[in-house]
Amino acid sequence: MTTPRYTPLAASLPSTVPFVGPETQERGRGALFRARLGANESVFGPSPLAVAAMQAAAADTWMYGDPENHDLRHALAEVEQVQPENIIVGEGIDGLLGYIVRLIAGPGDAVVTSDGAYPTFNYHVAGYGAELHKVPYRDDREDPQALVAKAAETGAKLIYLANPDNPMGTWHDGTVIERMVADLPDGCLLVLDEAYHHFLPNEALPRIAAEDPRVIRFRTFSKAYGMAGARVGYGIAAPDLIQSFDKVRNHFGMSRISQAGALAALNDPDYMISVVAQVGWARERISAIASANGLTPLPSATNFVTLDCGEDGVFARKVLTELLSRDIFVRMPFVAPQDRCIRISAGTGADLDLLAEVLPQALEAARAGS
């Protein structure tokens, strides 16, 4: 019997995924979670206008989506105050990360990221055979100076930085990112993941021209717009780089339903603003619950709060396990010393009432187990 003849690279890769989904965990435990607070989704959902547009588009799903994403690109260009030629639309930031790595980083090419940063980027780098170099976090934030220095040392073609950061929720002021761009080594592209940019203070948004060839900025409809399941992300960059995506992207990757929903969401900015306000309330509530239980909430400009459990990763994993066993889905950072924390997504009032009830029980059980 013959078997597929995998490439040496594919054969060397582990059969793993960056995240184990809550559905997978529910199947394994044979029970549903009562509160889904681990994936940084928006429990507040999409705009009613987006829901109506997606429902209406369902009847037209016998047709492929527009491969040029024309209407959505033009609408995004107006919102972002750039030209349509500066916009690429794709299957969430995760999909766009795969395309940018494929375009820029081949086997043996150096790429730089932070140790413990968003792991899907690393997954794509490994899949294309590039060499990943990591620098540690500094004070629970990614370290722009260290990233630039490592890129200069290794001759890296890409640097990945998320601002605000996942998994910590921390952020840098816009001027810090602007200095980072100015200091980039020649020929190095900054992949700036701004999935949570709607939650940043205005002064924290860097001023980067869309025509700047040193940067591509990625944004999403998964967070403030509440459309994680629709898989809609976009990038802002110089036209030459945007056009290069046509060489590698899945031209029919966007469904008509997702395109319609995203376009309608852009036409309902008041709803998105209301979600940002609800997330702010939820962050304050999570922080208060944490503080009342002796945990330290880290500052956050995202739709989640990272909680310092006060000990090491072993203890934090016990707290996580106890929360899961009590039907609350949460996650935690993977790499020390950030793995001393757990991460709680913004939830509804009922979700956070449940958290307030269960967290003391989980902490007591974790401490007893220690």
Question: Residue 286 above 80 pLDDT?
Answer: yes
The predicted pLDDT at position 110 comes to 98
d(CA 204, CA 207): 9
Only one residue has tokens 């997978």, namely: 24
pLDDT band at 2 (very low <50, low <70, confident <90, very high): confident
Query: In the beta sheet, which residues pair with residue 87?
Result: 236
Predicted confidence band of residue 3 (pLDDT cuts 50, 70, 90): confident
pLDDT at 215: 98
Q: Tell me the residue type at 113.
A: T
Average pLDDT over residues 240-258: 97
Nearest one of 58, 40, 70 to 256, comparing CA atoms: 58
Where in the chain are all domains bearing CATH 3.90.1150.10?
8-45+270-369
pLDDT > 90: percent of the chain? 96
pLDDT digits 0-9 by tens, 103-152: 999 999 999 999 999 999 999 999 999 999 999 999 999 999 999 999 99
pLDDT for res 370: 60
Look at residue 202 and tell me whether its pLDDT is greater than 90. no
pLDDT given at position 16: 80
Q: Output the pLDDT for position 361.
A: 98
Distance of alpha carbon 214 from its chain centroid, rounded? 21
Nearest-angstrom CA–CA distance, 105 and 84: 26
Q: Which residues pair with 160 in a beta bridge?
A: 191
| CA distance to 21, 234, 313, per residue, from 79 (Å) | 32, 12, 42
- Inform me whether the pLDDT recorded for 17 exceeds 90: no
Residue 153 confidence class, pLDDT cut points 50, 70, 90: very high
- pLDDT above 70 coverage of the chain, percent: 99
Element (H, E) at 321: helix 313-325
Is residue 96 within a helix (H) or strand (E), and if so which, with residue range?
Answer: helix 92-104
* Distance between CA atoms of residues 115 and 62, nearest Å: 44
Question: Each residue of 75-91: pLDDT tens digit?
Answer: 999 999 999 999 999 99
49-268 is classed CATH 3.90.1310.10:
no
Q: Is 300 helix (H, G, I), strand (E, B) or coil?
A: coil
Provide the pLDDT for residue 19: 84
The predicted structure's pLDDT at residue 250: 96
Cα 333 to Cα 298: distance, rounded to the nearest angstrom: 13
Band (pLDDT 50/70/90 cuts) for residue 1 is: low
pLDDT at 11 over 80: yes
Q: What are phi and psi of 4, to 5 degrees?
A: -60, 140
Q: What is the pTM of this model?
A: 0.96
Q: What is the mean pLDDT of residues 295-303?
A: 98
Residue range 237-259: mean pLDDT, rounded: 97
CATH superfamily of 8-45+270-369: Aspartate Aminotransferase, domain 1 (3.90.1150.10)
* Contact in structure between 359 and 330 (CB atoms under 8 Å): no
Q: What would the mean pLDDT of 58-74 be, rounded to a whole number? A: 97
From-to residues of CATH 3.40.640.10 in the chain:
49-268
For position 264, what pLDDT does the model report? Answer: 98
Contact 311, 340 (CB under 8 A): yes
| SS3 of residue 343 by DSSP | strand
The region of weakest confidence among 3-17, 210-224, 226-240, 278-292 is 3-17
pLDDT at 18 over 90: no
Contact at 8 Å (CB) between 36 and 22? yes
With a CB cutoff of 8 Å and minimum separation 6, the contacts of 79 are 266
Phi, psi of 128 (to 5 degrees): -105, 10
- pLDDT above 70: residue 184: yes
d(CA 226, CA 297): 24
Average pLDDT score over the chain:
97
For 131, residues 6+ apart whose C-beta sits below 8 A from its C-beta are: 108, 109, 110, 111, 154
Query: In whole angstroms, what is the distance from residue 200 CA to residue 211 CA?
Result: 23
